Structures are given as C-alpha cells and as structure tokens.
Structure 1
Amino acid sequence: MADWLSQFNYSPIKPLFDSVNDAIIYFAKRDLLEEKIESIKYIWDLPEVQKIIKKQLDDGSWPSKAKKDITSGVKYPLIETWKQLRFLIQQYEMDNTHPAIQKAAEFIFSCQTDEGDIRGILANQYAPYYAGAIIYLLIKAGYEDDPRIEKGFEWLLKMRQDDGGWVIGSPGMIGLSNLTRSEMNDLTSNKDRRTARAFDKSKPFSAAGTGMVLRAFAVHPTYRKSGEALNAARLLKSKFFKKDNCTSYQHPDNWLRFQYPFWWTNLVSTLDTLSLMGFSKDDVDVKNGLNWLIDHQESDGLWKISYSKIHKTPDNKRTLKSRLWITLAICRIFKRFF
C-alpha cells in the first residue's frame, strides 16, 4: 500500500473511513487495504440499493419521468435503466447472479438492433458513445462472453472514424452539415425518421465520445488488448486538458468535472480506463494526469467534484457523498498504476 499512498500530500484513507458510509468503508477495506471482508451481498442488501431495485418494473426497466409524446422515438425507459444500472453495477457491484440485473440486462438487449447497437437514446439514430457506456456495465455484470456483447463490439468497431476514435452524437449524421438545429433535433427524437447514414469518417474523433466507448473495451479481457482499443486510448490521452474536437464539449475544463459512477468523459474516468488497459504510470500523458490529481487534492484528503470554471459545484454536505466516491475511484486508479 505504501507505494501508491505515498504519492499523495494528504492521506485519503482517514476521511473514507470517517465517512460513516457502509459501502465506502466496505470497498475501502477490500480494495485499498486488502482486508478480508464479508460477501458482496452485504452491499446488495443495503437500504440505498434496495430502494433502487424496488422501483424496477416487471419488464426489467426503470420508469422514466419524461412526458409521453406519441411522436417521440426516444426510449426513455432505456435511458433511465442505464442511469440506475450505473449505480447498481458500477457503484455497488451487482452482477447477473441477481434477478434484478438479469431482468435489466434482458431489457437492454431487447433494444439491440440486428446491426448490433443499443438503439433508442437518439431515437432511430446511432449513439456509439452511449452504446459503449451501456456495454461497459453489462460486461462488469458478467456478460463478457455473451454473443450479443460480441455483436456490440463488432458494431462499435465499424462506427469508428478514420483516425480510430469515435464521435459524440450519431456518426451517421456527420455528413448532414446543412441541417438546422431544429432539423437535427427532429432527427434524434422523431420516431418516424430513418437512421441517417451520411457518414464522414474523415472528421476527427471526439475525446468525449471516445472515452465513453473505451470503457467497454477496458473491462473486456480480450478487447482491452486489441490494437484498435490501444490506438483509440492513445488518441484519448493525447487530448488531456485540451479542447475536444466536438463543439458541445470543446472547452478544456470538461476534463475537470468528475462524476461517480462515471457518465461523461473526464480525467478520472479516462485514467480509470487507461489503468485497466495496462498503460504505465510512466507514460507521459498518464503521468501528467496523475500529477494533476496529486497537486489538486484538498487538505481534507478528498477531491472536489469540479475544478472547472464552466461547471462550478460548491463543496458542502450535499456533495460530500460524491466527493467520497470520487476519492475512492482515484485511490483505486493510483493503486493500479503503482
């Protein structure tokens, strides 16, 4: 433990154990101190986990609060199910030995097309960044050998740009540059719009999109070692603290807004991916990222939710729980690298 922990200016161990958060303490004991702990089912029985499970519907999805619109092709239950599985699978480490995860996985697979993608978040349009983030969770839940996952990977590889990365939005719409914003919105929401296939693979990758897709590759025992994944990872890390090629997430400060469980691509989520893919702490980009985290640790031993000038988030009692989970994620990253 000394090697990774000695990198920090302040020990993050004490605030994690002082948190009075059963899940945080459990994972800190297991992952950071390597102590023997009780079965993971202890976590699954926690009230906060059971509260999420109780809201699951019979078809395996979670209900959405979005207003119903008969013209909409957006599958809001798919979006809500992905949101809830982020907590159940990534945060609380539930897997397909539990009936709730089995049901949820089958609901998600019911949204898989013959092409291989998980479709519905952008209505009938492609969304490789969300598909990658969803496949990431399914693999963590134990579906890495499922042929439907293999089909998803094959589709993701077909959706790459010429440079080897992925974009935010639908790659099939990139060539539709003459459309107005309202027309673009209609394409990604109207159930009567066909899947656009106006590809322009010469456009550069988006770090925001590539980071979300690579999470799936990083947790797969075979695909994490593939040349395609390693090339995309090199592209991704080369953009640390730099403008994205995607206009929606172009500002460099998007690297400095953290969430756990992961959603958008940021410094912590990307270092997590790189650590799982076998990159070295001595890699120049990785070292820069790790040093940034070391230099920006707070004196209480934790990290803030956001260091971004464009995404300001106050540190208070309401955000303390998020800070604890982010700190746990950062400690896991350092432990892998060191």
Structure 2
Amino acid sequence: MNIGTLLLGDPSPSLRWRAARELEGATDEDLEVIAWRTEIDRSAEIDALVARLEAAEPYTAGYLLCQLAYLGYRGPAVEAAVEKIFDVQQADGSWSIPPAGSEGPRFVTMQTVVPLRGIAAAGFAADPRAERAFEWLLGVRLQDGSWPSGPKADLGQPGRPTPPEKEYRRLARGLGCRSATTGAVACLAMHPVRRRSDAARIGVDHLLARETRDASTLGWEVSRLVGLERAMGQVTFYVTHDLAFLLDLASRCGVSLQDRRVHDLVDYLETLRGPYGLWQHPTHPQLAGWLSLDLETSLRRLNDGDWIGNEQPAASTPYPRSPRRY
C-alpha cells in the first residue's frame, strides 16, 4: 500500500496535511487540505505551543518555531516571535545567552544555531538579519569546514587555541563538534540557496563519515519536534546520532543517492521498514507515521541530489573503552 494513503488516515491533521502535500501532490486549494489547515490552526496542541512561544526567550523560542513549522502552523504568532528574536541579535549577527558583562563563555555555537534554525524554519532565512547570522556562522568554522562547540572568549588570541572537543561528540574525521556541526548544517539546510553551498555540503560530508548504525535512536529529532521528548542542552543539543535526521539533512543539501555512504545508509534503513511500508519508532510507537513521512520524503529528495562527498566512512564509539581490571 502507498505510504501516503496510509498516512492520510492518521488522527493528526498536521500529519495528514503534510502527507497530502509532500507525498500525494495535493495543493493548498484542495478542499481536504483546506479543512486540515483549519484543524491545525485550531488544535489544542498548536495553542499550547503558541502560548509557550509568546513567553519564551530566544533559545527556547527558536526550537518552538521549528516545532510549529514541522506541524504546519502559519499563524501571526510566528512572525511576532521571529521579530522578538531579531530584537536581541548581537551586532555581529550572533545571539548570546549569558547577559552582557557576566562571567563565563562569551558564546557557544549552539546559542546562535538554535534561534537561527527556528527563524529559517519559519520562512525567514533570506531576511537580511538572518543572512548576517549565517555569515557569522560561516565565520566561526574551523579550517576543515566543521564547527566547534563553542568558540570561547579567547577565540583568535595567539597561543590560546580552542581545546579539542570531548570524545563523545567529536566528529569521526574532523576537528569540530558533531553536535555543533549538525546544528549548523540544520540551519543551512533550511536556506533556499545556502543549502546547496559548499559550506553545507562539507558539513554533511563530516556527518556522513560516521558509519554507526544505531536503530535505538532512529527518529530522535522527530520525537522532539512533535513534543514527545524534551529539546534540551547547549553543546549537547544535537549530540544524539539520529540516522533519520542525518538523511534529512543530506537530502536537503543535495547529496546524491550515488554517494556510497548515503547508499549504504538507505540500504540499512530499508531493512527496518515494516511490512506495510512504514518504519516503527523504537521508543514511541505512535510516531510511526511521522517517522515514515520524514524518511519517505528524504528518500524522494535524494533523487534530485547531484553531489557525491569525499569523506570515507569511519566507525565511531561514544566513549573510549577502558582497560579491564582483571
């Protein structure tokens, strides 16, 4: 059975709306699509997210915007929240969570990544203020094109290099932080032009170099976007290695199915597909529809990919194994 047909029977109007448009080719003029849009805007789930958005600081608001965009909300609260985030943007285009004059890090990469991804997801990626943030993001890259977890306040001072990233979030073959690089690529992937840029593709190249196949974290980002898992952390915000999210980013940034690492990843994911064409979420069975929508949409985008990366796969473990005592 066609996946889109199955998803059109889901209880969630957001999932039905997205499946109709992204998998079935429906337009905004279709009567069912119009009815589902009305359901979305009146749903208690959306009302709760909008209420939180109105009271949220920029970091939290950024991810709430991602959630609302994922669920298909297009109401006026989105633009109002985006303007509030822009109001506290730094002169260099970044955002900084600690109050001015406080001790501690001047910024960490994620303090800009999370608000910027929300702004881009809401449809404001090409706003001149967002473009300044993207330029800031490009400016803090390391020499290999990955992103550090934080440049700290001593960034650029002679003789005081940024310390190496912690083992559990270090890139398989790169100088930077896997969490920060994932977040930066997630921002670029939402930009209408920058998603096909060299910066985005090099970032994806670093992420694809890790070849672990962990089914237990498949759909982690989906579970956060629909609110079943908390979105939390700063340097660890994107530390979970989610193969569905990785495929989403790769497909948005124009990686081809002919890329060997992507081809192997798709082959592995196909082994997890159920008898009706759906993927089961390992933790939340009720998310099978959302996870299947994400994966099926990514697979279709890969058909338009035209780029093959250079990084070779590398196995990775979160922590080094300690020697046995006996």
Same topology, TM > 0.5: yes
Is 1:159 matched up with 2:140? yes
Let me know the Cα RMSD of the aligned residues. Answer: 3.1
Paired residues of 1:257 and 1:305 also in contact (CA < 8 A): yes
- Equivalent pairs, count: 267
Quote the residue 1:229 is aligned against.
200
TM-score (norm 1): 0.69
Is 1:214 matched up with 2:185? yes
Is 1:329 matched up with 2:310? no
Q: CA deviation at 1:284?
A: 0.8
Please list the CA deviations of residues 3-23 of structure 1 after superposition, one character each: whole Å capped at 9, or x if unmatched: xxxxxxx85445423322222
Quote the residue 1:52 is aligned against.
49
Q: CA deviation at 1:119?
A: 1.6
Indicate the larger mover: 105-114 or 127-136. Answer: 127-136
Asked which structure has the greater RCO (Cα within 8 Å, sep 6+), the reply is 1
- The correspondence for 1:82, drawn from 62, 68, 71, is 62
Is 1:35 matched up with 2:58? no
Whole-Å separation in 2 of the counterparts to 1:218 and 1:124:
27
Whole-Å separation in 1 of the counterparts to 2:69 and 2:62:
10
Whole-Å separation in 2 of the counterparts to 1:56 and 1:139:
16
Q: 1:323 to 1:82 in 2, by over 3 A?
A: farther
Q: Secondary structure at the match of 2:91?
A: coil
Q: 1:91 to 1:198 in 2, by over 3 A?
A: farther
Quote the residue 2:85 is aligned against.
108
Paired residues of 2:66 and 2:122 also in contact (CA < 8 A): no
Please list the CA deviations of residues 259-306 of structure 1 after superposition, one character each: whole Å capped at 9, or x if unmatched: 222963521112111111111111111112211211112345432334
Equivalent residue letter for 1:292: Y
Q: 1:16 to 1:199 in 2, by over 3 A?
A: farther
Is 1:120 matched up with 2:97? yes
Q: Secondary structure at the match of 1:160?
A: coil
Whole-Å separation in 2 of the counterparts to 1:111 and 1:207:
27
Whole-Å separation in 2 of the counterparts to 1:145 and 1:82:
16
Quote the residue 2:309 is aligned against.
none
Please list the CA deviations of residues 17-64 of structure 1 after superposition, one character each: whole Å capped at 9, or x if unmatched: 33222221121111111124334842333332123224444xxx33xx
Superposed, 1:143-222 pairs within 5 Å as 143-168=124-149, 170-172=150-152, 199-200=161-162, 204-222=175-193
Q: CA deviation at 1:330?
A: 0.9
Equivalent residue letter for 1:82: G
Paired residues of 2:46 and 2:73 also in contact (CA < 8 A): no
Paired residues of 2:59 and 2:115 also in contact (CA < 8 A): no
Whole-Å separation in 1 of the counterparts to 2:251 and 2:10:
26
Paired residues of 2:219 and 2:242 also in contact (CA < 8 A): yes
Indicate the larger mover: 206-215 or 83-92. Answer: 83-92
Whole-Å separation in 2 of the counterparts to 1:85 and 1:303:
26
Is 1:292 matched up with 2:268? yes
Paired residues of 1:207 and 1:239 also in contact (CA < 8 A): no
Identity percentage of aligned residues: 21
Paired residues of 1:160 and 1:201 also in contact (CA < 8 A): no
Whole-Å separation in 2 of the counterparts to 1:33 and 1:24:
12
Superposed, 1:128-139 pairs within 5 Å as 128-139=109-120
- The correspondence for 2:221, drawn from 250, 254, 259, is 259
Equivalent residue letter for 1:336: R
- The correspondence for 1:92, drawn from 65, 72, 75, is 72
TM-score (norm 2): 0.71
**Structure 2 gap segments, 5+ residues each:** 166-174, 232-237, 304-326
- The correspondence for 1:280, drawn from 232, 243, 256, is 256
Whole-Å separation in 2 of the counterparts to 1:56 and 1:137:
11
Whole-Å separation in 1 of the counterparts to 2:121 and 2:249:
13
Paired residues of 1:79 and 1:121 also in contact (CA < 8 A): no
Paired residues of 1:259 and 1:326 also in contact (CA < 8 A): no
Q: 1:121 to 1:148 in 2, by over 3 A?
A: same
Whole-Å separation in 2 of the counterparts to 1:121 and 1:83:
18
Equivalent residue letter for 2:261: D
**Structure 1 gap segments, 5+ residues each:** 1-9, 63-76, 176-196, 243-251, 307-312, 314-318
